[in-house]
Amino acid sequence: MDVIFIQLILWMCLIFFFWILKDNLERVESDIEAGESSDSGKNGMRSKNSRYAHPEKVLDPIGSYQDVSIYRYAIIEGKRYQFDHVCPSVETLALPEKQRCLAPGLVYMEC
């Protein structure tokens, strides 16, 4: 009877260990994915996609471009921007301070 009880406790400990390991590995995986999608790359260099702003909130859909919805307003870094135009060639785009570009080339003007 004692041997069965000890084996049962060991199996429960093993299951608990694997459960904790799974949760921690999921947390590490999400941290890695969040690090890959950040604007800063290795050694402070900016990543390829840093030319695109990432809106906190978008409001009032008005159309679509390349299967991406165009919204009349976007909240970026706490400021409100209004859709201005589409720029198909983002590589050569030089935006003024009051404009932001969202993927795949949607330009918004601060209002």
Q: Residue 96 domain-assigned?
A: yes
Q: Residue 75 domain-assigned?
A: yes
Q: Residue 7 domain-assigned?
A: yes
Q: Could you tell me if 11 and 33 lie in one domain?
A: yes
Full domain range(s) for residue 77: 48-110
Q: Could you tell me if 57 and 91 lie in one domain?
A: yes
- Domains in the chain, number: 2
> Over the stretch 70-111, which tens digit does the pLDDT of each residue have?
999 999 888 999 998 888 776 666 778 888 888 888 889 988
Residue 15, phi then psi, degrees to nearest 5: -65, -45
Give 33's strand partners.
none
Q: Could you tell me if 106 and 55 lie in one domain?
A: yes
84: left (phi over 0), alpha (psi -120 to 50) or beta: alpha
> Over the stretch 29-76, which tens digit does the pLDDT of each residue have?
777 777 665 544 444 333 344 678 888 889 888 888 888 889 999 998
